[in-house]
Chains A and B, each alone.
Chain A
Amino acid sequence: MRFAPFIAGAFTAASAVLAKTVQYDWTLSWVNANPDELYDRSVVGVNGAWPLPAIQGKVGDRVIVNITNNLGQPTSIHFHGLYQNGTNEMDGPVMVTQCPVPDGSNFIYNFTLDQVGSYWYHSHWKAQYVNGLRGPLLIYDDDEPFKDEYDEDIYLTMSDWYHDEANWLVKNEFLTLKNPTGAEPIPDAGLLNDTQNLQWVVKPDTTYKIRIINIGGFVSQYIWFEGHDFEIVEVDGIYVENQKASMLYVTVAQRYTILLKTKSSTSENFPFMVSFDLNMLDNLPDTLNYNTTGWITYDTEGDFPDAAIIDEFDFYDDFYLVPVDKEETWEADTTVTATVVMDNLGDGANYAFFNNITYVAPKVPTLLSVLSAPENDSVNAYIYGSNTNAHVFEYGEVVEIVINNGDTGTHPFHLHGHAFQVIERSNASDSDDDFIVYDASNPGIRNEYPMRRDTLYLRPNGYFVIRFKADNPGVWFFHCHIEWHLEQGLAMVLVEAPLQIRERITIPDDHWEACKVGGYSYEGNAAANTQNYFDLTGEKVQPNALPAGFTARGIVALVFSCVSAFLGMGFLTWYGLSELKTTQHEVAQIMGEIPLDDESGESK
């Protein structure tokens, strides 16, 4: 049993109106932790501590995160959900907007909080965040539409938890030929606020604003509070009209802010649960406890009953949430259509594709290619690589992205730099062999005012359609937020308004330093070619496809084997025809019909 402090910092309505600057000086290093009391492991700590602190500020505040990397490996931080308008270089994804921060180096992220709601931050170098480099980012807004409806503002994080080091898992167990089906590593435990058996001590008759954040790396989780319903008031930083619900389905990286009113009586404590979506796991080990329980604690001396088993998950479908600002549906100017495919390449490992391209990081971070290319070249997606799924948009265009799921898995997709309108999302198909493909001439269910958020899940074999306006010049990553799938290459790069990027974005000195110290090219196209941006020779590409059918090697082997067989049979025939004579000779000697040969083998 553990109490975990998860009450947000002391920000009240009486705080200063003027925006301020909050600075975080963080040294990243490895520390030990054992949050599930099953296994002590190394995790990424900030200033020697884990779990990591929350970043907090009011709308309009400036945040400076000054990191010193003592991890013995590269790192970077992405502030998930923040638009970084005008500060694309602070977004964080490695080889998209920056080079990795080398071991032993310093790096500063400097941006303003120009939006409202609940967010989080995490490493965006390989699968590092699953090792614990993640935490909440909370923004306070004096003008919340529901500001009078609650008494306390707290956060609740949920995640999956692994005992093994994440990048080790990718290299040795996941992205290898030993795992041809691409089975994702199974988590070892679930956590609530980076701990278990959480006791949330509450006062009766109090409404709590709970910012629920899934900071895990893989599994979506259901969350419900026994005996208590709640109202959804915000998703991914978008205020929505209060929506009553009793259960939520939260994918990794999503946030839901709810208002929950406690009961008047303090006689009982009520369990609240987060439970893995088991459909996402390829197998279910007996040792895995996929339900994590906490308690709404009215009486700290009382009983803490077990959660009741439920038959089905009846969760609220976020598609139907209505944003408070009732933004009208955008009409699309351009459409990007992609099909999610999981398949194996020639090295035997299983990769993830948009159509037939799996994302392979370029030699130069794409943002730096935008800045270094000649102006006319920078608007051409070709220079950003043939293996990066790069698309270029003009400033102000409305971009529509249609994703068709060619896979039977659920994928939570995240777009950096924007919250997008959710135009349509189909159901999952009935069977693994059928696919529901988006047909623009035959649209599905649409809302009058589309829901908006920055992380949306795609159903098995189904599709979704999203739209956003390209009014935030920058290079924005669009990818599945399941870390394993990101490592498999399920990503595309959206180069939004390159001409405006060149006007507005400047790279600070320590960012250039990171490239130089790390030995990365910081100018040129995806192949680091600074002379001819249309020459991609030497760019990094995906492994070759598996050979289909007979290759030259196979034909040679087959022909050679046939030749051997025929030759062998020829020899046998030769032998069969020729050896009778000798035996007759031998037998005749024994029977006395002919004289014995002498010792030298000559007949007498």
Chain B
Amino acid sequence: MANNVFEVSVFFIVFRETLEASVIISVLLAFLKQGIGRSADDPTIYKRLVKHVWIGSAIGFFFCLVIGGAFIGTWYSLGRDIWGSSEDIYEGVFSLIATIIITIMGLAMLRLNKLKEKWRVKIAEALEERNHYGKGWFARFSRKYAMAILPFITVLREGVEAIVFVGGVALSSPAKAFPLPVICGLVAGSLVGYLMYKGGDFVKIQYFLIGATCFLYLVGAGLFSKAVWYLEFYQWVKVVGEGAAESGNGAGSYDIRKSVWHVNCCDPETSGGWMIFNALFGWQNSATYGSVISYNLYWIAIMVAVVLLLYKEKHGYYPLLKSWTEKHDAKKIAKRRAKMQARQAAETAEGSMEEIKTSV
């Protein structure tokens, strides 16, 4: 991960977290527009609630910047040179962490479109819940500013998630590799979230998300391959000594016993174009059995995971785990439905939506 200016994995993580946050906010806004706004037919209240959403988001974002900045600043001022000769091991381990994070995250990206649906439920649930916190100061406050607190918490949570993931993924990069991908991720994520709010063509958005996910997994596969490559390179340096291993691309810079291909050009450590190739696809000019096999195994694992998930979607359970999955899911769904019905019953009794309206 010797990317010096634009760390691709950072971009993707920030993009994804921003996207999720902006989807939630857009759902919230759509909720307001359709639900409260329409029924109350009161533009002032609507506008105020919308402002709450934005203020909540902004405060959450600000907190994220502070925490993120502090985290990264502390790490870099403590100095990155603590690893010296074990640098390759750290590179390998960080690549591995990055790929795990990306792999798990990536699947979620495909579901962002249906996130809208899920969040419709979650927000409704969240709003119902607030009504039962009692009459204390905090309860009144949170009811009054529910529309601000929810986005605040959401943005804060997504933001801290992003910071933690970014930290796990990119701590081996120089500090100047952060600003650009972070900003790009924020911009891209917000843009897509806005498009989704506008309710744009579902199909087009889904294609976009698919494309983005494919790209993400290319990066993930590359990272996995790189992780294995770095760990093997570390072993080679131990055998042959730092000098010989770093000596350009000639004989001695790689272990002939483990080599699948080796070309003396196209080294991602030295040439800019190939560095990008390396960041996106895990390209190495000197590939080992480990790095090639791990790349292929990653994709095979993804394909298996997709097959399993599709199976579940179609039949409702994972293969071989039929009784466990069904019971699990059916229970969950029944529980949430029961909760929802209870809330709705209480709401009708207490007229809680009126309460929200009157308290602002």
Contact = CB atoms under 8 A, between A and B. Distances in A.
Contacts of B309: 575, 579
Given A180-B253, A561-B296, 15 more contacts: A181-B243, A546-B262, A553-B261, A554-B260, A569-B214, A569-B217, A571-B307, A575-B306, A579-B114, A580-B113, A589-B337, A591-B340, A592-B344, A597-B333, A599-B330
Given A178-B239, A565-B218, A584-B117, A578 B310 contact: yes
A573 B263 contact: no
Nearest to A579: B313
Contacts of B244: 179-181
Interface stretch (A40-48, A326-334, A342-350, A490-498): A342-350
A314 to B, nearest CB: 32
Contacts of A567: 299, 303
Nearest to B225: A561
Contacts of A517: none
A582 B313 contact: yes
**Of B221, B257, B292, B300, most A-chain CB atoms within 10 Å:** B292
A550 B286 CA distance: 10
B310 A568 contact: no
A180 B110 contact: no
Interface in B220-234: 221
A599 B330 CA distance: 6
B206 A575 contact: no
8 contacts: A180-B244, A350-B252, A572-B210, A573-B210, A575-B306, A587-B117, A599-B326, A601-B317
Contacts, number: 162
Interface in B333-347: 333-334, 336-337, 340-341, 344
A600 interface: yes
Contacts of A15: none
B111 A590 contact: no
Interface residues of A, number: 55
A181 B302 CA distance: 42
Contacts of B47: none
B310 A560 contact: no
B26 interface: no
Chain B interface: which size bin? 35 or more
Contact of A583 (B111, B296, B302): B111
Interface string A335-355: 000000001101110100000
A604 to B, nearest CB: 12
B250 to A, nearest CB: 8
Contacts of B292: 557, 560-561
A547 B262 contact: yes
Nearest to B263: A549
B114 to A, nearest CB: 4
B287 interface: yes
A278 interface: no
Interface in B258-301: 260-264, 281, 287, 292, 295-296, 298-300
Interface of B: 110-111, 113-114, 117-118, 120-121, 124, 206, 209-210, 213-214, 217-218, 221, 239-240, 243-244, 247, 250-253, 255-257, 260-264, 281, 287, 292, 295-296, 298-300, 302-303, 306-307, 309-310, 313, 315-317, 326-327, 330, 333-334, 336-337, 340-341, 344
Closest 7 CB pairs of A and B: A180-B252, A554-B261, A344-B251, A568-B299, A601-B316, A576-B210, A583-B114
A600 B257 contact: no
B251 A546 contact: yes
Contacts of A591: 120-121, 124, 340
A543 B213 CA distance: 47
Contacts of A549: 261-263
A547 B264 CA distance: 11
A178 B255 CA distance: 9
Contacts of B210: 572-573, 576-577
Nearest to B344: A592
Nearest to A555: B261
